[in-house]
Amino acid sequence: MRVLVTGHRGYIGVELVPLLRQAGFDVVGLDTGFFDDSDFRSPPDDIPGLDLDLRDVTADHLRGFGAVVHLGALSNDPLGDLNPSLTYDINLHASVNLAKAAKAAGVGRFVFASSCSLYGAGGDGHLTETAAFNPVTPYGESKVKTEIEVGALTDSSFAPVYLRNATAYGVSRRLRADIVVNNLVGYALTTGKVMMMSDGTPWRPLVHIGDISRAAIAALTAPADAIRNQAFNIGRTQENFRIREVAELVAQVVPNCAVSFASGASPDARNYRVDFTKAERSLPGFTPQWTLRAGIEELYAAYQAHGMTEAEFLGPRYYRLKVIRGRLERGELDTDLRWLA
């Protein structure tokens, strides 16, 4: 099957692509290249790609594909807050347009990388896929609305599926330091502090990018009727942690560091625990493999082997918002985040 992966040069995409190819898929990418200067250790695989902005995709671009895996988005809450209207243009409107174009082109399956962030201020109970949406950021709201609008396109020949990924972590050739586990481990190694930006009380479900990739492959290979217009929380129920617990586990793995709080650390409105039973039972072929401790050990070993320094880790390379702001300041992007050169 020929598969288009949007965001194939991003944090998850660069590690998903080789797994898809190993599974026998013919993979083509689509990526704006915002983070092409953000390699960690080695560059991504070189694969064929569509050279266009996600917002400009038409049905003609998608003819001949059997499926789309849609990862491409403004990828976290601070970046979404940079310009909420752009979050909706890219994460919502372009995503829905992509699904409409896919359906018009005869693409049978549309795998959407949604997020558990759509549960937002969800409280302390374990939330299933039937829980109410309660997003607290433009990023979370965009995921809710995309699921709803793409779902309306469902029919016997078009099968969308929504993978509501927990908060990602793990080593990638397009490393991100702006997500909680990767950030805490990097701070611990390079500064001797496990630095928490909140008071540590919020719950957060966590999932390794390897398990996100396995879920995407399962969504591509499962019988269409098993996934058609279905949402699946992606992670493991036992992998819900308070942020303070994550910090304490990092301190156990990384030697000679101590937990500390950033100046003005306060409660985080994002607080949710998630139930992942449905995916483990009803997404054929999906078996998550990672635990948080194993992921922390992987990150620590990778940072150490790389010789990660405080200056590199805290610099702009691995922070999505810093990269985008830098490109804006240098005149490489216009205010709509389109390339000028």
User: Which CATH fold would you assign to the domain 2-329?
Assistant: Rossmann fold (3.40.50)
CA 243, 249, 255, 259 dihedral sign is: positive
Q: In the chain, how many H helices and how many E strands?
A: 14, 14
Predicted confidence at residue 271, as pLDDT, reads: 78
The total of other beta-carbon atoms located within 10 Å of residue 96's CB is 17
Q: Where are the beta strands (DSSP E) in the chain?
A: 2-6, 26-30, 49-50, 67-70, 109-115, 121-127, 159-165, 167-169, 193-198, 203-208, 230-234, 240-242, 258-266, 271-274
Domain boundaries along the sequence of the chain? 2-329
Predicted confidence at residue 138, as pLDDT, reads: 87
Place of tokens 């330091």: 177
Would you state the structure tokens that stand for residue 19, as one six-digit string?
């797994």
Predicted confidence at residue 48, as pLDDT, reads: 97
Predicted confidence at residue 267, as pLDDT, reads: 61
Predicted confidence at residue 264, as pLDDT, reads: 65
Parallel/antiparallel/unpaired status of strands 203-208 and 240-242: antiparallel
Q: Per-residue pLDDT for the chain (341 aa), expressed as one digit of tens each?
A: 999 999 999 999 999 999 999 999 999 999 999 999 999 999 999 999 998 999 999 999 999 999 999 999 987 656 666 778 898 999 999 999 999 999 999 999 999 999 999 998 766 678 999 999 998 888 899 999 999 999 999 999 999 999 999 999 999 999 999 999 999 999 999 999 997 777 788 889 999 999 999 999 999 999 999 999 999 999 999 999 998 999 999 999 999 998 887 766 556 666 789 999 999 999 999 999 999 999 999 999 999 999 999 999 999 999 999 999 999 999 999 999 999 97
Q: Which residues contact 23 (CB under 8 A, 6 or more apart)?
A: 217, 221
Predicted confidence at residue 145, as pLDDT, reads: 97
Torsion angle of alpha carbons 316, 178, 234, 252, nearest 10°? 120
Q: What are phi and psi of 62, to 5 degrees?
A: -105, 0
